Amino acid sequence: MLNMLNKYKWILFDADETLFHFDDFAGLKLMFSRFNIDFNTENFAVYQQVNKPLWVEYQNGVISAAHLQHARFHDWATKLSVTPQHLNSQFLAAMADICQPLPGARELIDSLNGRVKLGIITNGFTELQNIRLSRTGFQGAFNPVVISEQLGKAKPDVAIFHHAFGLMGEPEKHQVLMVGDNLHSDILGGINAGIDTCWLNHHDAPVTNNISPSYQVRNLAELHQLLLPDATQ
Q: 181, 202 in Cβ contact below 8 A?
A: yes
38 a catalytic residue = no
d(C-alpha 138, C-alpha 54), whole Å: 29
3-state SS assignment for residue 134: helix
Rounded CA separation 80/50 (Å) = 18
Cis peptide before 213 (omega within 30 of 0): no
Task: Write down the catalytic residue from 14, 16, 157, 186.
Answer: 14
Per DSSP, the residues of 97-133 read HH--BPTTHHHHHHHHBTTBEEEEEESS-HHHHHHHH
Residues that are catalytic: 14
